[in-house]
Amino acid sequence: MSTYETLKGLKVKFLGADTSGDRELEGELYYNSSDFQVKSHLAVAAWSSSSHMINDKIANGVVGIQTAALSCGGFTSVPDGNPDRKVTTEAYGGVVWTAAANMNTAKSSGVTYGTQTAALAAQGESVNSEEYNGTSWTEGNNMGTARGENGIQFGIQTAAVAAGGSPNHAIVEEYDGTSWSEVNNLPAANFGGHGAGTLTAGLGFGGYTTATVGETLSYDGTNWTDVGNMNLVRRNGTANFGTASLAYVAGGITPTGNRQTTGAVYDGTSWTVLPASLGTGRQHNGGIGAGGSSTTAGLACGGNVAPNNSTGATEEFIRTTSTITNSTWATGGTLPAVNNDSGGAGTLTAGLTTGGTRQPNSPNSGGLSTNVESNEYDGSAWTAGGDMNTGRATFGNLGTQTAAVAFGGRIQNNPFAYTANSEEYNGTAWTEGNNLGAVQYYMNRTGCGTQTAGLCAGGYDVDAGSPTSNVQEYDGTSWSEVNNAPTVLLRIAGCGVQTAAILTGNQTSPKSAVFLYDGTNWTTSPNASPGTNSTTFAGTQAGGILAGGAPVPYNGTLSHRWDGTSFSASANLSIAREAASASSTSLSSNFVCGGNNPGAVQDTTEEYSDGVVISSVAKSIDFD
Amino acid sequence: MALFIYGTATNTGKGFFTHEDRRNFFLRGYGGHDGSNPISVWVVGNNEKGALWLADANGTEQTKAEAQALVRAADTIGRTAWDNDDVDGESADEKNARLGTKPGFISIP
């Protein structure tokens, strides 16, 4: 009988507490003498769905990491026996795909390496090779031998390996950032194989030699060595990523022609089939491949699905020993009355909602329908605050419960009337301030900044009769115009402060662009948002939560979390709503209230609780 | 076993559903109308905690068809209100810009 020490090379430690930090080793058994339990840190793996690619693709190349990936080339159909190879490229930031610069030469079933800003794409039934710098593709030196069907591939833009490929090649070429050179052949011709790792520590696995195989080969930069077999043989898989000592593969096709959902992991010694499986079985598609060295997160996108179609389906893989407490929304106090298109400010325990309309989308019926009321929230209940001097909806609002500013907006319907008026709140009463530079409404609908350093971005300039990209800053006394936004902004959601603001969810194109403001200049994040308009945005440039938005019901319950770099899907609201009001200054402590729902304008409040990652909670092992 | 329980219940505000509830079962609310008054329709994950939540909320269980009918009635009212909400001289595009596109019918899961 074998022992744990023989199998794992470790003894079962006798410890007074759970292992943690540098002492933690996934899968290691130990006895916790305080808890009287045998324990271990166990990883859990899962695939989850994400946004579809813009274009369905088969045999597209994918590089990067899960939150900064690039898909290039591929084909969608095979008219007249030849794939309609594409030059199109798409970038993924963790939420949605956005169009990127086209390649110079159409490719499919090629080899790809690197990152979203330093990529290499070659082969694809040709010798062509080109590099991407995050902005554009540039022709590089050609390969020596044209091949297809994604041979084994691993490495980065400046140190890449392309091994095998159809039809039946054993040829291996290395790229040094300038040119390709032929090196030692594979032990046997192979196409449709997979790879992970680096040029000097690489791994090739699966593919087709004289049949579909599970053969696993390690590469040290010079020689190939057979190191075992996959326990579920496959070729043309996807999402092959990781390192030579911890590699993953998912999807692909078996010898009997079945598209796989299963995934497998190589731990440096042997392969294990993972319980986590793709939602959509697929073959011949891109995945985070040659450049993806992550051992905990991968991506599958595109591919060939049954019966024989292209897909843009995207799925994300995560493997972690951490326990993740999901973000959630719970009910808060009920507003005194339904309210739509009102302003919001403050935090969960010191919040403010102001103005708005009782009716959906500010209809003309009912004549003057805008509110002057303010209501204050303490984290449990709403109580009446001071009335504004000018009732308004679709206006700008920023600050805190005791130091807020309301500016612009629609003040009357039927006939419509708008204002440049601005007023300040001190927690008790509203007082007139200096006007905006123009009569406008639909500016950033959730607030950026404070009463002494505020921001008004975009909106509809009534006198000009058009949306505007103008931006104004408030210094506690007056509004002054500063650098324009990159584009016109209409009803965009924003949060943060005057010197570190973030805005997205524009009602006009580009809807999904994420604009960042540093107090002087505007930049656009490379990672897009879902592009929902009439949403709320609470938090800061370093972390925020988008919630609800139009059109309901399709987007009205969705929320997405910004982590300072990219967006990811978060907990759903329980009630779909657009044009809701929200607290503006905190990610971990915020609310949404009111808003328009097709069934009824809302008086409900929902409170957000941000998810918590509890790193590496040890699991007890029961033997009975 | 059906995936969901359907019911109506009045949202009483703070504590009506909690963060723990949201982790324990699926919950989504829809605006409904019973012919006289607006009414909240809830789709609840069909497990023990979901069923107990609906009972604790003094909810009234409905069949899926009944719940869908309540939501459709509210949708119809909203769509009619949209149709009737016109401004003299306003184009269709201007109306869409002002009100958003005409609400559709919601299908509950």
Q: Are A339 and A577 in contact (CB under 8 A)?
A: no
A401 falls within a domain: yes
Please give the pLDDT value at position A439: 96
Residue A318 and residue A296: Cα distance in Å, rounded?
Answer: 5
Lowest-pLDDT choice from A382-391, B83-92, B93-102: B93-102
For residue A5, what is the enclosing H or E element? helix A4-8
Which residues of B fall below an 8 Å CB-CB distance to A?
Answer: 11-19, 21-23, 27-33, 38, 71, 74-75, 78, 81, 84-87, 98-101, 103-104, 106
Please determine, for residue A511, whether its predicted confidence score (pLDDT) is greater than 80.
Answer: yes
Query: Is the model's pLDDT at A128 over the cut of 80?
Result: yes
H helices present in A464-505, as ranges: none
**Whole-angstrom distance, CA of residue A95 vs CA of residue A314:** 10
Statement to judge: residues A486 and A602 lie in one domain:
yes
Q: How far is A380 from chain B (nearest CA, A)?
A: 6
Residues of B in contact with A576 (CB under 8 A): 30
Kindly state the tokens that stand for A68: 């900064």
Residue B41 has pLDDT above 80, yes or no: yes
- Among B14, B20, B75, the strongest candidate for a mutation testing the A interface, having the largest count of A CBs within 10 A, is B14
Share of chain A above pLDDT 70, in %: 92
Nearest Cβ partner of A329 from B22, B74, B81? B22
**Cβ <8 Å between B22 and A574:** yes
Could B12 and A334 be called an inter-chain contact, meaning their C-beta atoms sit closer than 8 Å?
yes
Q: What is the mean pLDDT of chain A?
A: 88
Q: Are residues A336 and A271 in the same domain?
A: no
Residues of A in contact with B57 (CB under 8 A): none
Q: Is B19 within 8 Å of A609 when comparing Cβ atoms?
A: yes
Mutation pick from A375, A491, A575 vs chain B, by most beta carbons of B within 10 Å, is: A575
A491 and A570 part of one domain: yes
Same structural domain, A476 and A581? yes
As beta bridge partners, residue A137 has A132
Q: Are residues A308 and A425 in the same domain?
A: no
Q: Do A333 and B85 touch (CB under 8 A)?
A: no
The CATH number covering residue A532 comes to 2.120.10.80
Report the sign of the C-alpha dihedral through residues A207, A213, A214, A219, in that order: negative
Smallest CA–CA distance from A578 into chain B, residue? B100
Whether A619 is covered by a domain: the verdict is: no
Residue A571 within any structural domain of the chain: yes
DSSP string computed for A403-440: EEEEE--EEETTTTEE---EEEE-SS-EEEEPPPSS-E
pTM of the model: 0.69
Neighboring chain A residues of B33 at a CB cutoff of 8 Å: 599
The answer to whether residues A409 and A551 belong to one domain is yes
Among A302, A320, A338, residue at a domain's last position = A320
Give the mean model confidence (pLDDT) for residues B10-21: 87
Give every CB contact of residue A220 below 8 A, 6+ residues apart in sequence.
A200, A201
- Alpha carbon A298 to its chain centroid, in Å, reads 13
Where residue A553 falls among pLDDT bands split at 50, 70, 90? low
User: Do A65 and A39 belong together in one domain?
Assistant: no
Instruction: Give residue-wise pLDDT tens across range A174-221.
Output: 999 999 999 999 999 999 999 999 999 999 999 999 998 999 999 999
Judged by a CB distance cut-off of 8 A, whether residue A200 touches chain B is no
Residue A84 φ/ψ region, left for φ over 0, alpha for ψ in the -120 to 50 degree band, beta for the rest:
beta
pLDDT above 80 for A225: yes
Q: Do A331 and B29 touch (CB under 8 A)?
A: no
Q: Is residue A273 part of a domain?
A: yes
What H or E segment, with its residue span, contains residue A138? strand A137-139
Query: Domain boundary at A292, A320, A348, which?
Result: A320
Q: Is residue A153 part of a domain?
A: yes
Binary contact (A600, B31; C-beta < 8 A): yes
Contacts of B98 in chain A (CB under 8 A): 361-362
Asked whether residue A289 carries a pLDDT value surpassing 60, the answer given is no
Query: Residue B16 and residue A598: Cβ atoms within 8 Å?
Result: no
pLDDT exceeds 60 at position A1: no
Residue range A57-69: mean pLDDT, rounded: 91
pLDDT confidence tier of residue A286, bands split at 50, 70 and 90:
low
Tell me the two tokens of residue A30.
Answer: 């130990």
What is the average pLDDT across A482-494? 95
Q: What is the mean pLDDT of residues A363-370?
A: 53
pLDDT band at A363 (very low <50, low <70, confident <90, very high): very low
pLDDT, one tens digit per residue, over A569-621 is 889 999 999 889 998 888 888 999 999 886 678 999 999 999 876 666 666 76
Region A487-491 average pLDDT: 94
Asked whether residue A543 is domain-assigned, the answer is yes
Distance (Å, whole) CA A442 – CA A440: 7
- Would you state the pLDDT for residue A362? 44
What mean pLDDT do residues A89-100 have? 89
| In the predicted structure, residue A36 carries a pLDDT above the cut 70 | yes
Averaged over A314-337, what is the pLDDT?
87
**Contact at CB, B29 and A550, closer than 8 angstroms:** no
Tell me, yes or no, if A578 comes closer than 8 A to chain B by beta carbon: yes
Residues A141 and A36 in one domain: no
Whether A34 and A138 map to the same domain: the answer is no
Specify the range with the lowest mean pLDDT, choosing from A11-20, A141-150, A370-379: A11-20
pLDDT category, A163, cuts 50, 70, 90?
A: very high
3-state secondary structure A247-296: EEEECCECCCCCECCEEEEECCCCEEEEEEECCCCCECCEECCCCCCCCC
- Number of domains, chain A: 3
Is A617 a domain residue? no
Of residues A249 and A383, the one with the higher pLDDT is A383
Q: Is residue A605 in some structural domain?
A: yes
Q: Are residues A181 and A233 in the same domain?
A: yes
Last residue of a domain, one of A266, A297, A320: A320
pLDDT tens digits, one per residue of A421-443: 999 999 999 999 999 999 999 99
Residues A389 and A309 in one domain: no
Question: What pLDDT sits at residue A365?
Answer: 45
> Shortest CB distance from A414 goes to which of B29, B87, B106?
B87
Of B18, B23, B32, the CB nearest to A326: B23
A604 touches chain B (CB under 8 A): yes
Residues of B whose CB is below 8 A from A600: 31, 38, 74
Domain coverage including residue A527: 328-609
DSSP 8-state secondary structure symbol assigned to residue A80: G
Our separate counts of H helices and E strands in chain B read 4, 4
Q: Is the pLDDT of residue A262 over 70?
A: yes
Chain B neighbors of A551, CB-CB under 8 A: 100-101, 103-104
A328-337, A359-368, A447-456, A537-546: range with lowest mean pLDDT:
A359-368
What's the confidence (pLDDT) of residue A367? 42
pLDDT number for residue A430: 96
Is the ipTM higher than 0.85? The answer is no
User: What's the pLDDT score for residue A451?
Assistant: 96
Residues A19 and A114 in one domain: no
